[in-house]
A = this chain, B = another copy of it.
Amino acid sequence: MAEPSPVAGEARDGRCHHDHQVSCTSCRLAPLCLPLALETGDLEQLESIIQRGRPLQKGEHIYQEGQAFTSVYAVRAGSVKAYRYADDGSEQVTGFYFPGEILGMDGISRNRHASSALALETSAICEIPFERLNELSTRIPSLQRHFFQLMSQEITEDQELITLLSKHSADQRVAALLLSISARNARRKLSATAFRLPMSRADIGNYLGLTVETVSRVFSRFQKLGLLSVDSKEIAIADVALLRDAASGTLST
């Protein structure tokens, strides 16, 4: 892949004069990513281990399956898709990550990443070296607890996805994904009813265990039924109640 063009004076050496070094204390995502009641000194310590790299371009990897695991990552801006390869070599999308969310925790158990992660659009990522986080956790119990909680949450979310895949129709799966993205937007004080999907239809289908065609048909049907208005990747939820019905399988039509 070609180097991204250095537009707008964007440096390519990992140092530029934009705001890559926003501190956690001033980051408006901190309440999502680190909802902690840390002592001032503690937060500074945590702050000191977090590294912020240059923005990633669309399609660039944060890490790849099989690479040595060193860090977990927090999305600061943009969005990320995580995926792994099935035994037959086909891709399986395992999750989408938005600002304030943490990824990479599946690498801890074997000390190598069990999945790959790539930027779906230009994104900013904070890197949190795991060994140093571990050390810090032994000194700051609430931080240890927080990371246990984050991992547990990941487990819970995966189990919800399992339920979705196991028992739900194409309509229900798509509706559930849209509601999930809507809720995560709301958490960031963005519109819960109008947003742009950063991922392709293929990614959505792959994530939900459906083909591209089925995803496309569901979008069309939802639009026809007045649940959504769809303009390629721009989605507007026209009737949340109906969309909830669709997600729970109680949609009349």
Q: Residues on A close to B: CB < 8 A? A: 84, 86-88, 90, 92, 94, 105-110, 114-115, 134-135, 137-139, 141, 144-145, 147-156, 158-159, 161-163, 165-168, 206-209, 247-249
Contacts and interface: CB of A to CB of B under 8 A. Distances in A.
**Most chain B CB neighbours (cut-off 10 Å) among A107, A149, A209:** A209
Contacts of A94: 159, 162-163
A85 to B, nearest CB: 9
User: Sorted from nearest, which 6 A-B pairs have the closest CB atoms?
Assistant: A166-B209, A108-B152, A158-B158, A109-B152, A109-B153, A165-B165
A248 B88 contact: yes
A29 B249 CA distance: 44
A109 B165 contact: no
9 contacts: A86-B163, A87-B247, A92-B167, A109-B149, A137-B138, A144-B144, A155-B158, A158-B158, A167-B209
Nearest to A247: B87
Contact of A134 (B106, B107, B148, B156): B148
A16 B145 CA distance: 36
A152 B105 contact: yes
A141 B134 contact: yes
B153 A88 contact: no
A180 B197 CA distance: 36
